[in-house]
Structure 1
Amino acid sequence: MEQSRIVYFGTADFAVPPLQSLLACPENFDVVAVVSQPDRPAGRHRERLPSPVSAMVQRSKLPLLQPESVDLPFLEALRGLRADLFVVAAYGRILPRQVLEMPKLGSVNLHGSLLPKYRGASPIQSAILDGETETGVTLILMDEKMDHGPILATAIETIREDDDYLSLAGRLSEAAAGLLTDSLTRLADGTLHTQEQDHSLATFTKMIRKEDGLIDWTTADAWEVERRMRAYRPWPGIHFDWTTRNGHTVRTRLLATEVVHANGQTPGAVIETENGLPAVVVADDEAVLLVEVQPEGRRPMSGADFLRGYPPSETI
């Protein structure tokens, strides 16, 4: 096949392996530039840090564009690259039609679900939250609507019982890398055909916020808490307010848990199990075992140490 000139749009960790896969095939793909979001303040000291994609590109000789907005200078820079194709993966911004239609082969997007399910910002977390046993990656030809365009290819991935966001996203990004190089080769030579999405089956995900990790023990479901812990690892994590016997409230992060039987206790009650670990009763006569926790401002500790150091009121 003739070498394709590609501009790659990506920001998050998920976008790194697909970019690496393109760079590993220089005989087929010429990545002429990479577009990533600008460096953002992060960490305790609010130091401006590059995105995972930007950090990778900065170690290479690839041209890197980090526009604050899709303005005229950025559009002119894109046109000047004379790309055959734009590839988008976890870029974090919606691109307008004038960008999507710029390359002669169009623009494609790698999305971390089996579309049309889980369109939007958090497909991987949402699949874990919903207790799905299967998900995947979809490569689509982009249009103006979010995750809406015709499907070019898919790769299916099993969700394991112990998968958290990090482990599942890692496997999906590797699957995306393999799917991308094979599919783009076929797209360039005209042997890859599109399939319209069934939009009546579309489901949508939301942007995850810090407050989504807060547990209300009086309404929570035990298995939902367990899935939230895995889906929201590492961010935002899940946390709860623990009221001690002397009336102090301690914001606490839940790091490891199991689901146990509650023996008819009231939701929100704290019970001590036979192995000395605390458990918080939730709905359906189940309880969430606090295997490992981290009180705010303290080191991680076992649930047993937490129970001794922060003896609870009857309910939290």
Structure 2
Amino acid sequence: MGTPEFSVPILETLCQSDFKPRAVITAPDKPAGRGQQLSSPPVKIIAQNYKIPVCQPKTKEELAKQTLGFKPDIILVAAYGKILPKEILDTPKYGSINVHPSLLPKYRGPSPVQFAILNGEKETGVSIMLMNEKMDEGSILGQEFIEIEKDETARSLEEKLSKIASKLLIKTLNYWIVINEMPKSAKNLVLPQQQDNSKATYTKILTKQDGKIFWDKSAKELERQIRAFYPWPGSFTVLKTSADGQNKFSNLKILEAADSDLKTEKELGEVFLADSQELTVQTGQGCLIIKNLQTEGGKPMSAADFLNGHPEIIGMILQ
């Protein structure tokens, strides 16, 4: 079970191993783009390439009926986005296993990669765990660590974690199935590691509004936000312009930036050119140097190109 890009390398690795899935369950197709054409989840496309049956339930009842109809020996979940009921979790002979991109019990929930970057973590990782009815609270079967690079974005980190998860999952499945075939007396020698719930932290579902930039934050915080929320939900500020006596407000998305310890007497959110001639904004502590951005409805561009077309931004106060 899975839906987004994070699940794709995991599914491909399973398909090329001794654990090729009998079926794939993913989210329904959704309208996308300006034309609102139906778009298939990435996992569905991969499954079809490997000629694996695909189910896209729309209700809890459909999910249970379709899942249990396959009489699975094991259920594997990677970013499916739904909490599975007990009747599904308890059915497989070898249990239900989840791949989670954090070092549990830290960063339980739907956005662990983004929040690890946002909070300035130096490392994160992947956890393979047995599932229960609660969110990401199951016992750990395996974990692997990875350092978070200084320029890491959510996209680049997810790609790395997905590759790590693919290898770790195969390794975990191999020993987990062997353990389950052992006599009960031998099974007790290798127990899954229970999580310490007192150390648990949680994430939330991100919305577009979470990407709003508040200029009273420090430059370091904002630089992390921009990387953490790239590509979704993105980080934006509001640009106020005037024409024919009327104010116009538009979103300006910041795609890449760097923090600076530069001290000035500028107002919060004020745009200026630093001595390096780079597009710079005053923050609550330090300054943010804009590298790449995107106007509302426009294409991504460098700050230099934007400045060439919009020199009037110098001196403006971003909101």
2:253 partner amino acid? R
Deviation, structure 1 residue 167: 0.8
1:64 and 2:54 are equivalent in the alignment: yes
CA offsets 1:207-252 (integer angstroms, 9 cap, x no match): 01001111122x2221111111111111221111123476543321
Deviation, structure 1 residue 30: 4.4
Paired residue secondary structure (1:119): coil
Partner of 1:4: none
1:201 to 188, 199, 202: 199
1:21 and 2:13 are equivalent in the alignment: yes
- Which structure 2 residue ranges, 5 or more long, are not aligned? 180-186
Deviation, structure 1 residue 175: 0.6
1:168 and 2:157 are equivalent in the alignment: yes
1:311 partner amino acid? E
In structure 1, what is the Cα distance between the partners aligned to 2:214 and 2:65? Answer: 51
Partner of 2:70: 81
CA offsets 1:280-316 (integer angstroms, 9 cap, x no match): 10112x1111222222133333324433515134533
1:259 and 2:236 are equivalent in the alignment: no
CA offsets 1:44-103 (integer angstroms, 9 cap, x no match): 1111111110111122211111111221x5434433322211011111111100010111
Partner of 1:6: none
**Greater share of strand:** 1
Paired residue secondary structure (2:84): coil
In structure 2, what is the Cα distance between the partners aligned to 1:104 and 1:265? Answer: 64
Paired residue secondary structure (1:94): coil
- Which structure 1 residue ranges, 5 or more long, are not aligned? 1-8
Alpha carbons of 1:314 and 1:80: their partners in 2 closer, same or farther (altered >3 Å)? closer
In structure 1, what is the Cα distance between the partners aligned to 2:229 and 2:3? Answer: 19
Paired residue secondary structure (2:76): strand
Deviates more, 1:244-253 or 1:269-278: 244-253
Deviates more, 1:148-157 or 1:233-242: 233-242
Partner of 2:214: 216
1:197 partner amino acid? Q
Deviation, structure 1 residue 256: 2.0
1:229 and 2:226 are equivalent in the alignment: yes
Partner of 1:238: 235
Runs ≥4 residues deviating over 6 A: none
Partner of 1:278: 279
Deviation, structure 1 residue 36: 0.7
Alpha carbons of 1:245 and 1:118: their partners in 2 closer, same or farther (altered >3 Å)? same
Q: RMSD value over aligned CA atoms? A: 1.8
Paired residue secondary structure (1:10): coil
Q: Verify the 8 A CA contact 2:254 2:293 in the aligned structure 1.
A: yes
Alpha carbons of 1:32 and 1:305: their partners in 2 closer, same or farther (altered >3 Å)? closer
CA offsets 1:240-283 (integer angstroms, 9 cap, x no match): 11234765433211122122213243322222112322211011
1:35 to 21, 25, 36: 25
Q: Verify the 8 A CA contact 1:294 1:300 in the aligned structure 2.
A: yes
In structure 2, what is the Cα distance between the partners aligned to 1:47 and 1:68? Answer: 19
1:315 to 300, 314, 317: 317
Q: TM-score, normalised by structure 1?
A: 0.90
Partner of 1:50: 40
Deviates more, 1:235-244 or 1:155-164: 235-244
Instruction: Give aligned pairs, total.
Output: 303
2:191 partner amino acid? H
In structure 1, what is the Cα distance between the partners aligned to 2:316 and 2:129? Answer: 53
Q: Verify the 8 A CA contact 2:12 2:46 in the aligned structure 1.
A: no
Partner of 2:184: none
